[in-house]
Chain A
Amino acid sequence: MKVWVDPEKCRGHALCLTHAPDAFEFIDLEDRAVVIEGAVDTVPREQFEAAARECPERAIVITD
């Protein structure tokens, strides 16, 4: 599984931090979220799916 936050779409709503707190982190000065390195190996897939599903900007991309 690969997970990517599209920096062109992310507008810093940060709902991914609510749904998958161990998978995403926020770059404060750029007002956007990124995937924490290595999180795809430790965080359950359902959390990534919830974050992608609830992202209002549809910025989170999951590929196998």
Chain B
Amino acid sequence: MTTKAKHIIDFDHHAPELRDHNTEVFTSLMYGEGGCPMGWSDKHDGFWAIWGYDALYDAVQDWETFSSGHSAGCPKGVPSSLYADPLIPIDLDGPVQQDFRKVVLSWFNPGHAKSMKERVEEMCDELIDEFIERGEAELSYELFTALPAMFTLEMLDWDSSRWPEWVEWVHAMIHDSVVDPEKSMRGINNLYGNIGQEIARRREQLGDDLFSDMMRTPMNDRLLTDAELTNFALLVLLGGMDTTSGTTGNSLLLIDRDPELRQQMIDNVDSMPKIIEEFLRIAGPGGGLFRRLTKDVEFHGEQMSEGERVLMMYWAANRDPSAFPEPEKIDIFRTNNRHMAFGLGPHRCLGSHHARLMLSTLFRGVFTRLADFQVQWDGVERFEDCGSVYAVRHLPVTFTPGERKKPRQVGA
């Protein structure tokens, strides 16, 4: 057999260059040598990165070759993930992965998201009420981090007022895994410990909530173990607390720099359910998910070997000119917008319907109530490492003060 030399790239998904200049990095990958859809980086003991739309589409559909499996002995992250047990169901493959999804489908289908519309709108209104009279706000903490975090905790029926603690641990687990592993590990341990307490509490009295259903719904004639519940609930928190907020923050920063786009958003607030798709494409939170090869395979012109790890660069594929004409242009009326912000194939993001609802609601809230917001760029801070999730930590803005929708509670 003749072996072709790998297409080598000088690329590190944890490097600040990707965070600060992702357009330039993607462009150089896309238009690099021979228009390759993928390449091999020697960083972090070596890994493949796939950024071409068609190649990534093929990879995500073939779960038997591109495995999502993860364990302490065979971790799939790059560098190796700090957590040991597989998150459920994202770190599993095949029928068992689908079986776990079925346990919670009644809480994650489009109908459930629709039934939550009024509640999400109410939460959004109340959060904006808290700062609308001030004419300034830190939109990350006060709005787009708070809303998805509180909503996630409400679905689980955990104390939603504790959202800042949960968010801090989730952020440590996701964003500090490479830049500050000790802090990240503390976050992970806090998550495990506090989920364990929630399990013990709920065991005494089940209710009408997602978490109770996870505890009472049999999967193939047996209930989930405490370990499975922990790793399932942990994924609900990770998915719920970091990604929708990331997309919102990334989008608002782009819109702040583009007066014409801002006006389009204001003029089309009633079309948000369609408009958000363009922001999911161009401002989605990332491409930090990995797969591992289960066998040697020739794939899109490259020879890949069993055991090699593969970075699925959804956010780069979403800007592949072969799939999206003028990919860097933000066109809120774009058609043929088959983006991969929620992944594709059997692992399609289970929370995507709720994420879309929250994103639509947040945009509608911002572009009806503080549409003239001005980003205070001196105070903008991104999470240092965008290797897992590309998101904004602090986003201060000023705007013309407005009126509350609900009067302030007396005595509050």
Binding site for B on A (CB under 8 A): 11-15, 17-19, 26, 28-29, 31, 50, 53-58
**What are the residues of chain A within 8 A of B338 when measuring CB–CB?**
54-56, 58
Q: How near does chain B come to A52, taking the closest CB pair, in angstroms? A: 10
Q: Which 6 A-B pairs have the closest CB atoms?
A: A28-B109, A56-B338, A11-B348, A14-B110, A26-B110, A53-B336
**Number of residue pairs across A and B with beta carbons under 8 Å?**
46
User: Are the CB atoms of A12 and B111 closer together than 8 Å?
Assistant: no
* Chain B 238-293 interface residues, beta-carbon cutoff 8 Å to A: 273-274, 277
User: Are the CB atoms of B109 and A26 closer together than 8 Å?
Assistant: yes
Measured in the bound complex, the distance between the Cα atoms of B232 and A34 in whole Å is 29
Does B191 sit at the interface, judged by CB under 8 A? no
Given A12-B109, A31-B109, 4 further pairs, Cβ under 8 A: A14-B353, A15-B277, A31-B102, A54-B336
Measured in the bound complex, the distance between the Cα atoms of B105 and A54 in whole Å is 23
12 residue pairs A–B, Cβ–Cβ below 8 Å:
A11-B345, A11-B348, A13-B352, A18-B273, A18-B274, A26-B111, A29-B102, A29-B106, A31-B109, A53-B335, A54-B336, A56-B344
**What are the residues of chain A within 8 A of B352 when measuring CB–CB?**
13
User: Are the CB atoms of B106 and A28 closer together than 8 Å?
Assistant: yes
Contact partner, A13, options B105, B335, B336, B348, Cβ 8 Å: B348
**What are the residues of chain B within 8 A of A53 when measuring CB–CB?**
335-336
Which of B110, B111, B273, B337 gathers most chain A CB within 10 Å? Answer: B110
**What are the residues of chain A within 8 A of B344 when measuring CB–CB?**
11, 56-57
User: Are the CB atoms of A56 and B339 closer together than 8 Å?
Assistant: yes
